[in-house]
Amino acid sequence: MSNTERQRLFRQRHPGYYQRLHANRRAASEAGIATIEQEKALSAIAPRVMLMLPAPVETIDIPGMTTIGSAAIPVFVERG
């Protein structure tokens, strides 16, 4: 039995299967799009809230470990 025959027999045994399948996919997609549009509309209406962030970060100096801000050591690479 070829693939074409198998598909034809499946469609005969299950009429409307692909219509229901595509309808379910389309409904799920449209629901997702509606949710996104709803969130966009709500975010456009709501005022922006200022975040209460902590004070600026201070670097911790650990002798022998901290390399941030130290002078760069030149590295010479020989090209062959």
User: What is the rounded distance in angstroms from the CA atom of residue 19 to the CA atom of residue 43?
Assistant: 36
Share of the chain above pLDDT 70, in %: 81
**Cα–Cα distance between 4 and 15 in angstroms, integer?**
16
Give the containing element (helix H, strand E) for 30: helix 17-45
* Confidence at 21, pLDDT banded by 50, 70, 90: very high
Task: Check: pTM over 0.75? Answer yes or no.
Answer: no
Q: How far is the C-alpha of 38 from the C-alpha of 33, rounded, in Å?
A: 9
Q: Are 68 and 59 in contact (CB under 8 A)?
A: yes
Q: What does the pLDDT look like over 34-66, one tens digit per residue?
A: 999 998 888 777 777 777 777 777 777 777 776
Structure tokens belonging to residue 61 = 């100096």
